[in-house]
Amino acid sequence: MPDDPTRPDIEVVDLRKRFGPLEVLNGVSLTVQPSEVVCVIGPSGSGKSTLLRCVNRLEEPTSGSIRIEGDDILDPECDIDRVRRKIGMVFQAFNLFPHLTVLGNCTIAQRKVLGRPRTLAERTAREMLERVGLADKVDEHPVRLSGGQQQRVAIARALCLHPDMMLFDEVTSALDPELVGEVLASMRQLADEGMTMLVVTHEMGFARRVADRVVFMDEGLIVEEGPPEQVLDAPREARTRRFLQQVGERDEA
Amino acid sequence: MFTVLAFAVGFVLALMLAIMRLSPLRPYRWFAAAWIEVFRGLPALVTIFTIGYAVPIALGFRVPGVYGPGAMALGIVYSAYMAETIRAGIEAVPRGQREAARSLGMTSARSLVSIVLPQAFRIIIPPLTNEVVALIKDTSLLYVLGTTASTIEITKFAREGVSRTFNITPLLAGALVYLAITIPLTRAVGLLERRNRRAR
């Protein structure tokens, strides 16, 4: 199938997700174009993480459609493991594999999923660790690293499969404040290199500086979306204003 | 020898049972749960008699090999215990580990083998050691199957010694043999655990 230059990397239409009686997503539609950086903000419980987790089907949506580079990933015929190779994901809790070294974390999927020989896998891993500034930590075990270093390893681990797009799920929320910057810097570098990114975050500064588009979610719906200067500085919706005010107050306190 | 074979049989069965127990498919879960309940609930001696005598008589089939029936019987009994231990170990690995593995494109089976099980086994080394020690001691139950000279089992040997000589020294000697096997084993596992902890 020839590549359609106008085809979005991620296309979510009328996505609904229910956990028992709890409606977490009430019909969310969102498109992310190649090389676009979209930040999703909103209060906790607004469904933003669930949205992200549906995009690579770590959560099964209740209804709606999700297309990744045009392929319907909710189709039962779809090979989700193949699709997931194209989507890198970074988690709030890092989720590095504690029984493996940094190098092992970065090579295991290359070797077991892509079937790459060890030498090539290690070369790729070193290259990606270099990109996040951790080339000297290859032989450490994850527990020996700081949170910020662990999270950068997690980014490198995802990059090793050469994904077309990356999902970031509140990746700085578990970090000590002084370690947030190094992780955001790695993400920003990725964005500058043209990676397609869908970022759930509480970092308003990052959203303002890096995002092409900011999406504000509340109660399982997209309330407002647009360029960062519009959504963050001149929000049209009262709910967006209230949220930004609360976040702003906390930052000043 | 009984111990090694029974542990191999038990461990393989237990791993399969534990995975079935956690399967999304209900028939697998039920089968595993039933197996575990039955063989954990029956006295080991009953299972040993069943495999050693009842099955050959009823079905005309005898587990082959000199060690076969005994190892099979103890393997089945211990598979029930070990399955629960392994299941607990798998469940103790944080969910995020599996999610991270799946997000890297690993299949469900691959993430189990490469990511979840290696961590689960580190967690369950202490309880698994308990079960191996119990298994070694329970090989003494196999005397009921009557053993040939090559498989003569320590307790039986000791008991015969006692009745022959009217002296309990052979029994004490048998006890010492068991301790000579189990104590170094638990020591070795302790070392293994310490090494693991350092690696983490």
Q: What percent of chain A has pLDDT over 70?
A: 96
Q: Nearest-5° angle of CA B162, CA B164, CA B170?
A: 30
**Cα dihedral A171, A175, A179, A181 sign:** positive
Residue B4: per-residue pLDDT: 75
Question: Does residue B152 surpass a pLDDT of 60?
Answer: no
- Where is pLDDT greater, at A91 or B43? A91
Question: Does residue B148 surpass a pLDDT of 50?
Answer: no
DSSP chain B: -HHHHHHHHHHHHHHHHHHHHT-SSHHHHHHHHHHHHHHHHS-HHHHHHIIIIIHHHHHS----SSSHHHHHHHHHHHHHHHHHHHHHHHHHS-HHHHHHHHHTT--HHHHIIIIIHHHHHHHHHHHHHHHHHHHHHHGGGGGGG---GGG--HHHHHHHHHHHHT-SHHHHHHHHHHHHHHHHHHHHHHHHHHHHHHH-
pLDDT tens per residue, range A196-232: 999 999 888 889 889 999 999 999 899 999 999 898 8
CATH number belonging to the domain at B2-199, selected among 1.10.3720.10, 3.40.605.10, 3.40.50.300, 1.10.10.10: 1.10.3720.10
Instruction: Over range B14-27, report the average pLDDT.
Output: 84
Question: Does residue B149 surpass a pLDDT of 70?
Answer: no
Instruction: Search chain A and give the residue with CA nearest B105.
Output: A81
From A149-153, B13-17, B148-152, the region with the lowest mean pLDDT:
B148-152
- At B45, list the tokens: 């001696």
Nearest alpha-carbon partner for B17 in B81, B72, B108, B96: B81
Residue A41: per-residue pLDDT: 92
**What is the model's pTM?**
0.80
List C-alpha distances in Å: B4 to B18, B135, B136: 21, 10, 9
Kindly provide the ipTM of the predicted complex, given to two decimals.
0.85
- Where is pLDDT greater, at B58 or A99? A99
DSSP A74-135: TSTTS-HHHHHHTEEEE-TT----TTS-HHHHHHHHHHHTS---HHHHHHHHHHHHHHTT-G
Instruction: Over range A121-148, report the average pLDDT.
Output: 89
In a 10 Å sphere around its CB, with 0-12 CB exposed, 13-18 middle and 19+ buried, how is residue B198 labelled?
exposed
Residues in B touching A84 (Cβ below 8 Å): 102-105
- Choose the mutation target among A90, A113, A144 for the interface with B, i.e. most B CBs under 10 Å: A113
Cβ contacts from A onto B, under 8 A: 65
Is B122's Cβ below 8 Å from some Cβ in A? Answer: yes
Instruction: Over range A176-205, report the average pLDDT.
Output: 90
Q: What percent of chain B has pLDDT over 70?
A: 77
Chain B stretch 101-120, residues whose beta carbon is closer than 8 A to a beta carbon of chain A: 101-107, 110, 114-115, 118-119
Instruction: Over range B163-173, report the average pLDDT.
Output: 68
Inter-chain touch B96–A93, beta carbons under 8 Å: yes
**Cα dihedral A217, A221, A223, A225 sign:** positive
Residue A246: per-residue pLDDT: 85
Residue A166: per-residue pLDDT: 93
pLDDT tens per residue, range A59-110: 999 998 999 988 888 888 888 888 899 999 999 999 999 988 999 999 998 8
- At A148, list the tokens: 């910020």
Question: Does residue B183 surpass a pLDDT of 60?
Answer: yes
Nearest alpha-carbon partner for B6 in B152, B132, B177, B153: B132
Chain B: nearest CA to A243, how far in angstroms? 29
Instruction: Over range A165-186, report the average pLDDT.
Output: 89
Q: What percent of chain A has pLDDT over 90?
A: 38
Place A168 in a pLDDT band, splitting at 50, 70 and 90. very high
Place A8 in a pLDDT band, splitting at 50, 70 and 90. confident
Place A253 in a pLDDT band, splitting at 50, 70 and 90. very low
- Where is pLDDT greater, at B184 or A186? A186
Question: Does residue B62 surpass a pLDDT of 70?
Answer: no
Q: How many CB atoms lie within 10 A of CB A77?
A: 6
From A1-5, A177-181, B160-164, B194-198, the region with the lowest mean pLDDT:
A1-5
Residue A252: per-residue pLDDT: 46
Is A111's Cβ below 8 Å from some Cβ in B? Answer: no
Place A5 in a pLDDT band, splitting at 50, 70 and 90. low
Per-domain residue ranges of chain B:
2-199
Is A227's Cβ below 8 Å from some Cβ in B? Answer: no
Residue A214: per-residue pLDDT: 92
